[in-house]
Amino acid sequence: MIFSSKGVIELLILDSHAHCGLTLPFERIRSLWDQGDIHGGVLFSPVEEIYDRGDRNFVDSPEFQKSRDDVHKYLESLKGENIYIFWFVWNDFSYPGEEFSGIKWHRHASEPKYLYGTKECDVIIEDICERQLPVILEEEFSNTLMLIEKFEKQTITIIPHLGNLNGGYERLKEAGVFENPFVYVDTSLASPYQVKDFVSNYGSDRIMFGSDYPFGDPVDECVKIKDLFSGEDLEKILAKNLLNLLYD
């Protein structure tokens, strides 16, 4: 809970999943957060500033190397009260700066692949685990399972959208992924049924509100959670679980 400037008690609300960068400036999401009484959240780069997602055979280039450097510097400039920034890992496997509170690890089946099995990939995974940086992991089903195993008992993996882009909620559920205490989820663009089902089966300690802005509307995504929960469950999902994850 927090106190507003008018002395009224409000729920602290933090968006755990939002894109922001030079092509998607902070002012845009700040405006939407303000409309929804959302106090801040986790920011990471739009995919388009990290690699060419439209080219399955993408080969890294100086232009994209500069783009990654520029967007991470931009995010560093935004860090402040209730603003947390996550480092977007790509195949240069460059190390996150100290200002970054977590990792974004992302690709879809039609996109260029991570160079798994390389020494550079193994080394950055070791560094992430040593620093216990939580990892928002959005990958194909088999790679999701592989990476969860690599991160398990060393740092937390966060499955966005309740797994809808990691092979599907039901498929991950059947595989026992959500029973793993080192796996968290965010609610961005997940159905109300999936959100409610997760809490019914696994409790409310490992689920966090997220919007996936600009693909989801933070106001609408927040209302979805407020319509489903109240009391302690609502407090946990809207902010408490994220803060516990980042500060424990």
Give the CATH number of the domain where residue 161 resides: 3.20.20.140
Check residue 4 and give its pLDDT: 53
Check residue 248 and give its pLDDT: 75
Contacts 24+ apart (CB under 8 A), 175-180: 175/145, 177/144, 177/145, 177/148, 178/202, 180/148, 180/152
Check residue 9 and give its pLDDT: 61
Check residue 10 and give its pLDDT: 78
Check residue 1 and give its pLDDT: 53
Instruction: Point out the residues of the chain with pLDDT beneath 50.
Output: 3
Q: Are strands 40-44 and 14-19 parallel, antiparallel or unpaired?
A: parallel
Residues of the domain holding 215: 2-247
Check residue 7 and give its pLDDT: 55
CA atoms of 159 and 209, how far apart (whole Å):
12
- Please state the domain count of the chain: 1
Q: Beta-carbon neighbour count of residue 160 at 10 Å?
A: 25
CA atoms of 103 and 24, how far apart (whole Å):
19
